[in-house]
Amino acid sequence: MRNNLLTRIWQTLRGIPRWFRPGLGIKRWFVLVMIGITLLGLGLAVILIDLYRTDSSNPIFLTLLTYASLRFIPRVLRAVIFGGLGIGLVAYGILQLNRSLLKPFIRPGSNVFDQITDYRRRERGPRIVTIGGGHGLATLLRGLKSHTRNLTAVVTVADDGGSSGRLRESHGILPPGDIRNCLAALSNDEALLTQLFQYRFSGSPDLEGHSFGNLFITALADITGSFEDAVAESGRVLSVNGRVLPSTLHDVKLVASMELPHTINEVRVEGESKIPTMAGRVRRVWLEPDNASAFPPVIKAILNADLIVVGPGSLYTSILPNLLVHDLLAAIQTSRAEKIYVCNIATQPGETDFFTCYDHIRALENHIGDELFNIILCNDNYKNDIGSSEWVRADPKTLSDSRSYCADLVDDDHPWRHDSEKLSKIIMDLFNERTGPLIES
């Protein structure tokens, strides 16, 4: 028992030096504690000296004082012994006190040092703004949150299908579906709270198809009186790493001009959910009203960003609805951040059939102008079967573009999707290669 205790104390003391590494925010407070203890020690020393001088005739007191102060060994060695014991006990006591205080907040299987180190590393991470919607943006956020806490996800509000569309029509709020997915992806606790947030009701005609998260955001919007406050409060409930913001607070509708088979004239299609269901080719999309202004915090985040990532996501129904908000696009063009476009891995039936990477880029640039992106990130792993979809391949036109960068981005379990870890690592490597790492190791 005694040996086990000594072993634990030794292991704890041996790990103390790592707490003094740069960037943890520990040393300044440790020095302050040491100064306070030193002053306390000086006060006690004054009392002992006074006792020694006033009661030096008592042989018992003199003997105790001699042994307690180790006066029988050299003074320098005494200073080293007392100083070392003092520092060790103070450090050990502070460490154990922190463990006791922080125990309710430490994840199982982790420790205080690892969590503080990870928190500080991500706190100093680059300011990243991601733009898109749907599952693609959620996948990207799930990977990036392990690299930085300074994340802002800008999400489209043009969705008018499914649960979001029904709530939009019945309650007059912005569609919460894509925002819900991003909040869940950024959550610290994806094990239970996220499952609850993503839970979809079934069996009841009134609740059929609705997700708990959509209803939760809708209820909060009613309670707080604003959609943006509801999203912010939802983020606090889920303890998210970053922010999720709507691209605009205006009630916008996505409209497409499509070329249908066996017709000469183009057809106008209204509604984000209807565009992929039409058996035709999208020629152009726009928002109505086309003068919707961006949500001001979005503009601020873009202008302050170190890195802006657009995509992955549905080209016409998730990505472009954000970029068609004029002042949002102007902010991206003005921003000095690195700008990366992440091309989809697989084509989307009814939207990007037979598209290559080059086709995605041309469709974007036809709507928003050329040379917006510094890097075009494409997948080059085409080994797996992706069912009814087709690979979005990096064709010769893409490879001839100096901005193009190809890598294996495929999720081996779901090859039509990006792997969040692969994608985020490559994005951070590209960013650090161009700008130098901002995160302290």
For 399, half-sphere exposure in the C-beta direction (CA atoms, 13 angstrom radius) is 8
Question: Would you place residue 236 in the very low, low, confident or very high pLDDT band (cuts 50, 70, 90)?
Answer: confident
CA distance between the termini of the chain: 38
Lowest mean pLDDT among 76-90, 92-106, 294-308, 357-371: 92-106
Choose from 60-64, 110-114, 137-141 the range with maximum mean pLDDT.
Answer: 137-141
Q: Indicate the Cα dihedral angle 294, 300, 306, 311, nearest 10°.
A: -20
pLDDT at 255: 95
- Between 125 and 94, the higher pLDDT residue: 125
pLDDT of 114 above 70: no
- Between 103 and 160, the higher pLDDT residue: 160
pLDDT at 12: 59
CB 238 within 8 A of CB 187: yes
pLDDT at 9: 59
CB 245 within 8 A of CB 297: yes
Structure tokens at 110: 């982790």
The pTM score is 0.78
Summarize pLDDT for 192-224 with one digit per residue, the tens: 767 888 888 887 777 777 888 889 999 999 999
What are 31-40's contacts with CB under 8 Å, separation 24+? 33/90, 33/94, 34/87, 34/90, 37/86, 37/90
pLDDT at 96: 72
CATH fold of 124-156+247-435: Rossmann fold (3.40.50)
Question: Using the 8-state DSSP alphabet, how is residue 16 labeled?
Answer: G
Summarize pLDDT for 261-292 with one digit per residue, the tens: 777 778 999 999 899 888 788 999 999 999 99
Which class for 260: exposed (0-12), middle (13-18), buried (19 or more C-beta within 10 A)?
A: middle
For residue 424, count other CB atoms closer than 10 A to its CB: 23
pLDDT of 67 above 70: no
Give me the residues paired with residue 129 across strands: 152, 308
Determine the average pLDDT of the residues in 422-434. 95
pLDDT at 34: 76
pLDDT at 93: 75
Summarize pLDDT for 142-194 with one digit per residue, the tens: 999 999 999 999 999 998 888 888 888 888 888 998 999 899 889 876 567 67
**% of the chain exceeding 90 in pLDDT:** 45
Residue (of 264, 339, 270) closest to 309 by Cα position:
339
pLDDT of 348 above 60: yes
Contacts (Cβ under 8 Å, ≥6 apart) of 292: 248, 250, 252, 325
User: In whole numbers, what is the pLDDT of the chain averaged over residues?
Assistant: 84
Locate the domains of the chain by residue range.
Answer: 2-116, 124-156+247-435
Residue 284 and residue 267: Cα distance in Å, rounded?
11
pLDDT of 30 above 90: no
pLDDT at 441: 38
In whole angstroms, how far apart are CA 403 and each of 347, 372, 373?
21, 11, 8
Residue 87 and residue 13: Cα distance in Å, rounded?
10
> What's the angle, vertex CA 83, arms to CA 80 and CA 85, rounded to 5?
105
- Between 67 and 373, the higher pLDDT residue: 373
- Between 59 and 359, the higher pLDDT residue: 359
Starting at the earlier edge strand, list the strands of the sheet with 253-259: 267-270, 253-259, 281-288
**% of the chain exceeding 70 in pLDDT:** 81
Radius of gyration of the chain (CA): 30
pLDDT at 440: 42
Residue 194 and residue 237: Cα distance in Å, rounded?
10
Residue (of 230, 236, 232, 226) closest to 244 by Cα position:
232
